[in-house]
Structure 1
Amino acid sequence: MARFLDNLVTRSPAYSTVISRLQNGDSFVDIGCFLGQELRQIVADGAPTDHLHAVDVVNHWDLGYEFFRDADRFKIDLIEEDMMHPGPGLQALQGKMDIILVNQVFHQWVLEVQTDAAVELVKLSRPGSLILGYQAGVKVPRELLGPKGSQYKAFLQSPETWKKMWDEVGERTGMVFKTEAKLLTWEELGHDPEETAYMGRDVLMMEFVITREK
Structure 2
Amino acid sequence: MSSTTSQNDSRAHVDHYSKDVPWYDKEPENFSPACRELLQNYSHIPPGEVTSHVLEMVPSPEFTVNFAKLTCAQRERAWAISPYPCIGRFRFLDLSISLQPSYHRILSFLKEPQSHHTLLDLGCCFAQDVRKLVHDGVPSENLYACDLEQSFLDLSYDLFKDENTMKAHLFTTNVFAEDGPLDKLQGKMDVVYTASFLHLFGWDDQLKICKRIIKTLKPRKGSTVFGRQMGNLKGQEVPNKSVVGQDSSFIWLHDVESFTRLWDTAGRETGTKWKTWGALNDAEGMGTNHWGEKGVQGLRFEAVRVE
- Say which one has the larger Rg: 2
1:130 is aligned to 224
Amino acid at match of 1:45: D
Q: Of 257, 262, 267, which residue of structure 2 is paired with 1:160?
A: 257
Counterpart mapping for 1:167-178 below 5 A? 167-178=264-275
> Which 4+ stretches in 1 moved above 4 angstroms?
147-151
**In structure 2, do the counterparts of structure 1 residues 6 and 125 end up closer, same or farther at CA, with 3 Å as the change threshold?**
same
**What are the Cα deviations for residues 117-166 of structure 1, in whole angstroms up to 9, with x where unaligned?**
11111101121211000010011122221459996211111110000110
Instruction: Look up the SS of the partner of 2:144 in the other structure.
Output: strand
Distance in 1 separating the partners of 2:171 and 2:91: 23
Q: Of 126, 142, 147, which residue of structure 2 is paired with 1:51?
A: 142
Amino acid at match of 2:163: A
Distance in 1 separating the partners of 2:242 and 2:158: 36
Q: How many residues align?
A: 210
**In structure 2, do the counterparts of structure 1 residues 199 and 72 end up closer, same or farther at CA, with 3 Å as the change threshold?**
farther
Distance in 1 separating the partners of 2:190 and 2:101: 17
Do the aligned residues in 1 keep the contact of 2:287 with 2:296 (CA within 8 Å)? no
Do the aligned residues in 2 keep the contact of 1:83 with 1:121 (CA within 8 Å)? no
Instruction: Look up the SS of the partner of 2:141 in the other structure.
Output: coil
**In structure 2, do the counterparts of structure 1 residues 86 and 49 end up closer, same or farther at CA, with 3 Å as the change threshold?**
farther
CA RMSD of aligned residues (A): 2.2
2:198 is aligned to 106
1:206 aligns with 2:299: yes
**In structure 2, do the counterparts of structure 1 residues 64 and 145 end up closer, same or farther at CA, with 3 Å as the change threshold?**
same
Instruction: Look up the SS of the partner of 1:155 in the other structure.
Output: strand
Do the aligned residues in 2 keep the contact of 1:81 with 1:87 (CA within 8 Å)? no
Distance in 2 separating the partners of 1:7 and 1:199: 26
Do the aligned residues in 2 keep the contact of 1:79 with 1:90 (CA within 8 Å)? no
Q: TM-score, normalised by structure 1?
A: 0.91
What is the Cα deviation at residue 199 of structure 1?
Answer: 4.6
Do the aligned residues in 1 keep the contact of 2:185 with 2:216 (CA within 8 Å)? yes
Q: Of 237, 261, 267, which residue of structure 2 is paired with 1:143?
A: 237
**What are the Cα deviations for residues 41-82 of structure 1, in whole angstroms up to 9, with x where unaligned?**
011111111211111122111101112222122221112111
Amino acid at match of 1:181: G
Instruction: Look up the SS of the partner of 1:92 in the other structure.
Output: helix
Q: Which runs of 5+ in 1 are unaligned?
A: none
Question: Percent same amino acid among aligned pairs?
Answer: 27
1:121 aligns with 2:209: no
Report the more deviating stretch, 10-19 or 29-38: 10-19
1:38 aligns with 2:38: no
Do the aligned residues in 1 keep the contact of 2:231 with 2:254 (CA within 8 Å)? yes
**In structure 2, do the counterparts of structure 1 residues 148 and 156 end up closer, same or farther at CA, with 3 Å as the change threshold?**
closer
Structure number with the higher strand fraction is 1
**In structure 2, do the counterparts of structure 1 residues 113 and 72 end up closer, same or farther at CA, with 3 Å as the change threshold?**
same
Counterpart mapping for 1:15-94 below 5 A? 15-24=103-112, 25-59=116-150, 60-94=152-186
Do the aligned residues in 1 keep the contact of 2:174 with 2:180 (CA within 8 Å)? no
